Amino acid sequence: MSGVKITETILRDAHQSLIATRMKTEEMLPILEKLDRVGYYSLEVWGGATFDSCLRFLKEDPWERLRVLRKNFKNTKLQMLLRGQNLLGYKHYPDDVVEEFVKKSIENGIDIIRIFDALNDTRNLRTAVEATKKSGGHAQTAISYTVSPVHNIDYYVNLAVEMENMGADSICIKDMSGILLPYVAEELIKQIKKEIHIPVQIHSHFTSGIANQTYMKSIEAGADIIDTAISPFGMGTSQPATEPMVASLKNSPYDPGLDMDLLLEISEYFKDIKEKYINDRVLDHKVLEVNAKTLKYQVPGGMLSNLVSQLKAQGALDRFEDVLEEVPKVREDLGYPPLVTPMSQMVGTQSVFNVVLGERYKMIPKEVKNYVKGLYGKPTIPIKDDIKKIIIGNEKVFTGRPADLLEPELDTLKENIKEYIEQDEDVLSYALFPQVALDYFKYREAKKYKIDTNLLNEEFKTYPV
């Protein structure tokens, strides 16, 4: 039997989970050659929040980052996380945008696309899965794992079978909150492996402190691939750490066979990067602690910090515990959505409103209304009539595939920004985040101008007056 395979998340989820996705491409570059030699199955390097963060905060072109990474990874497959029909944003995009986005992601260097939907509504995965396969990529569909009275083993096994039938090349069990218990994972993977014939990958977060054990039981039950993060950026709200996991599997049939010396060198490099983010106060010790309350409230790490900042903004941080108590109630009202983007934001904001305003559903975000109207897909169980009435009154609920309501828009978008386009991919950046992308394009132009000015200055230096 060949060993378990490892996906390293340092360049995507690890820094998304611990330092708000702020790692810059220039901080990645010096270590890429070593990362490429370790023998990982894949590196998760793109997607999730990295795209938004590049454009909005780092003033980097995410497409250029991808090309640079591809050029430097000569031996390792590159992987990204895609939010199904939401791509790398927070709402549904039309099929023409999804198809082009997937095509360009693969053209620029992605091998494996992990595609999930926050509601596990497979209609929201289909366009991206088909586009991935059409471009020769590996389509991995992810089950958004959660715990509720209706999310049982049968539910997940049926979902996995549906995904395989849809054409998935592998399945990921995506435990974004870190609440998949070791013995549940064992049973879940055994049952799934009985019914499907494609590889199964486990993705968890260390948030509640149980993920190492969950990985071990998953591996023993037949999981083919696990997600880990090199130790300086492992654990806490990130993935289990790579080196201890690799060491734990040594001398077993599951030995991943990675180069431990190289892992330790890589670890040293990222220790320095971590130190810098601690000094800059980007890395807060809170995200590194075991948060056992997660097991009760299921709130993923990123959502916890969002709740804290929303409450701080309203001067109501003392209501934090009340909000945590409210989250499962709102979730139940909304038909038990898994708490992952964009549902985690919706449930979180609604819970904050319910507590801070002293009356439940006094104020309701537009996104929550749209969700109840069916515009994000199908809730796990139907939302009760009385809740529906409170949230959308007598408005009708749409039961079709949400993206069927959206007209193609690429041509119009291209026209809108034609004076800024420097590459085909620019229209996709604009499609996802119109204002943020425009701001970035303007910044890019200004920077170019500045570089020209500097060059001019160099010439003047050569010919002093």
In angstroms, the CA 320 to CA 30 distance is: 41
Q: Among residues 9 and 108, whose Cβ is nearest to ligand PYR?
A: 9
140: contact with ligand PYR by CB under 6 A? no
Instruction: Name the amino acid, one letter, at 131.
Output: A
Contacts 24+ apart (CB under 8 A), 380-389: 380/119, 380/120, 380/148, 380/150, 380/151, 380/335, 380/336, 380/337, 381/150, 381/335, 381/336, 382/335, 383/333, 383/334, 383/335, 384/333, 387/333, 387/334
Q: Closest CB to ligand PYR among 15 and 83?
A: 83
- Phi first, then psi: what are they for 90, rounded to 5°? -125, 10
Residue 14 or 185 having the CB closest to ligand PYR = 14
Cβ-proximal residue to ligand PYR, closest one = 48
176 near ligand PYR (CB under 6 A): yes
Distance of alpha carbon 19 from alpha carbon 284, whole angstroms: 8
| Distance of alpha carbon 270 from the chain centroid | 21
Q: How many CB atoms lie within 10 A of CB 262?
A: 14
86 or 354, CB closer to ligand PYR? 86
By the rule CB under 6 A, 115 interacts with ligand PYR: no
Residue 13 or 99: which CB sits closer to ligand PYR? 13
CB 239 within 8 A of CB 203: yes
Angle, in degrees to the nearest 10, between helices 182-195 and 211-221: 30
Q: Is 341 in the site for ligand PYR (CB under 6 A)?
A: yes
Nearest distance from C-beta of residue 84 to ligand PYR, angstroms: 10
DSSP annotation of 396: P
d(CA 58, CA 50): 10
49 belongs to the binding site for ligand PYR (CB under 6 A): yes
Total residues contacting ligand PYR (rule CB under 6 A)? 9
- The correct pick among 83, 92, 205, 274 for binding ligand PYR (CB under 6 A) is 83
Closest contact distance (angstroms) between CB of 340 and ligand PYR is 5
Is 157 a binding residue for ligand PYR by CB under 6 A? The answer is: no
Q: Which of 40, 43, 48, 217 binds ligand PYR (CB under 6 A)?
A: 48
> Does residue 340 interact with ligand PYR by CB under 6 A?
yes
Residue 298 in the binding site for ligand PYR (CB under 6 A): no
What region, left, alpha or beta, does residue 87 occupy, with left being phi > 0 and alpha being psi -120 to 50 degrees? Answer: left
- Closest approach, Cβ 116 to ligand PYR, in A, equals 7
Residue 237 binds ligand PYR, judged by CB under 6 A: no
Phi first, then psi, for residue 38 (nearest 5°) are -65, -35
Annotate 234-260 with DSSP letters as a single string. Answer: -STTSPPBHHHHHHHTTTSTT-----H
Cβ distance to ligand PYR smaller for residue 81 or 223: 81
Q: Based on CB atoms, which residue is closest to ligand PYR, 118 or 323?
A: 118
11 lines the binding site for ligand PYR (CB under 6 A): no
Measured distance CA(129)–CA(117) in Å, rounded: 12
Nearer to ligand PYR, 341 or 429 (CB): 341
Q: Where are the alpha helices (DSSP H) in 147-241?
A: 153-166, 182-195, 211-221
Residue 21 Cβ vs ligand PYR, minimum distance, rounded to whole Å: 8
**Residue 301 in the binding site for ligand PYR (CB under 6 A):** no
Q: Which is nearer to ligand PYR, 46 or 63 (CB)?
A: 46
Q: Which residues bind ligand PYR (CB under 6 A)?
A: 13, 16, 48-49, 81, 83, 176, 340-341
